[in-house]
Structure 1
Amino acid sequence: MRYHSPTYLPCPLRLRRPAGVCTRVAEPTCDSCRTARESEVVMKGYVIVDTEVIDQEAYSQFLERIPGIVEGQGGRFIVRTSDVEPVEGGWAPKRLVIMEFDSLEAARNFVTSDEYTSHDDLRHRAARARIVVVEGA
């Protein structure tokens, strides 16, 4: 999905421009136009996993296999931690993992891939998990 950032303002030439930025000359105060294509932002896809480990040995085996699959699918780990500080509400994850992919479709493809789902038995034995896929910038 692509969207136009709210920091880009409409201009008389029916293009979109960032306020105070010129792409034609190096004058930071110029309001020269940019094309709509230059102002588009490609949204990333994220897999967010809230995990409670119930079998540490099985979980360790699972962790040995997953990084290669994530990287092979074009993803990268953003967060992998058990140091979670609940602030409000009832959500208190024991372990939180966030993976980033180039698109929402790529994130969905990862969680449904044969490479990942082939480890479902091990993952279910190792931990209780809540997994969501989201789109963001």
Structure 2
Amino acid sequence: MEPIFALVVGIFFAAAIYLMLSKKVIRILLGIVLLGNAVNMLIFTNGRLTPAIPPIIPGGEDTLSAAAANPLPQALILTAIVISFSFFCFLLVLTWRAYQDLGTDDSDEMRLAEPKDEPLPPMGY
């Protein structure tokens, strides 16, 4: 099962790099999301994939059995999912705001574009 996951992780990394090299900002954002998922799958694969034995310490023992999956990567992935989703939301809002000001989502045109002279809408605090 691990070789299949390793192949999928490699495909995810390749697709993420391809998308991040694009000129369109939305593709760059999708590449960042795909890169985060590839890293999460890589960490998950390193923690062993064994559906037969859950990562629970039986009563009367001090350690996990050798055949059990490592629970630490699973806990790290849960944290990483929350962080990557909040990072994506921040980048999405930043991209939307840049698109509103500059009128383009092409990164080359963003360098040359000047912001519109319209005042920003008031922030309702």
TM score, norm. by length of structure 1: 0.24
TM score, norm. by length of structure 2: 0.26
Q: Structure 1 or 2: larger helix share?
A: 2
Q: Structure 1 or 2: larger strand share?
A: 1
- If asked which structure has higher relative contact order (CA below 8 Å, sep 6+), I would say 1
